[in-house]
Structure 1
Amino acid sequence: TLLKLDSLIVLPYNDSEATELASVVLPAATFAETIGTYINFEGVVQLSRPAKVLKYQNREIMKEMAVSRLDKHKTQFDNWVNEKNLIDAKPSWESLVAIANAMGKPMPYQTAREIFTELALKIPALGGIDYKKIGKGGVKLEGVTGSTLQKA
């Protein structure tokens, strides 16, 4: 079905068949490089926080990162400190917001948290859930499992 498309824009974090077929490929940060939410196969909403730094990390992501002992005591010889070793990718949502804005369809989001807040207002299963409630353990959605997610 992808072959039938006039154009295909892909935001991958690795190569795939889709990147081979794409008209435009925009690099995307992985879950370990950005903050965001996902629903696992058991229907639990979980929050991922960045484990590594990107070149173009926004302030919201930086606020969500914990500072490790290694971050506090880094030296000029540490690989993650050197600019050349930083990954050059944005979180997918930032790219999508920029594309929408360029197309005249403004999306007012400044953070992943704002996007989740809006989703929680519009999707009944997410109602009343926010980043604080998700915390480190996640929130089990009522009546949602991997099989119900596949049907959606």
Structure 2
Amino acid sequence: MEKRQLGFELTVYDNMDELSAEDRSLMQAAVQAREDAYAPYSRFKVGAAVLLDNGEIVLGNNQENASYPSGLCAERVAVFQAGAVYPNSAIKTVAINVGSQDPAAPCGNCRQSIAEYEQRHKSPIALLLMGASGVVYKCNSIADILPLSFDGSYLE
């Protein structure tokens, strides 16, 4: 028997001001998207901003529905919109802003959806995670936080 440990590198910034100009602009877009979220039931607002390799930024925010689980997370709203409008453009970075004190990583469904785009375009998708203010986490690839992921190769 062999045991292995999986891990990844995470960069921690004290605040948004320490980010590159491109990442800071993207996170500011995610903050604005969070403010416009429709979350009357959970009151947990989330905003996402997707930067594409063509320079476009696509926004998303969580959209709840009284008929749980009919709503959709901010990350999937943004990623699916990017895929629908710019199907041939790779996603470079996804910035996620939540209304809680601490940053929150995407849920499992969102991780799987983002991973599909990373695999499709054969290009890493960086994640920027931030709470209402303060510390920002950056990981270099969705694959880092979704090890041993399921992909289309299993369906062949």
Structure whose alpha-carbon radius of gyration is higher: 1
Common fold: TM-score over 0.5 = no
Structure with more of its chain in helix, by fraction: 1
Q: TM-score, normalised by structure 2?
A: 0.27
Higher strand share: 2
Give the TM-score taking structure 1 as reference length.
0.27
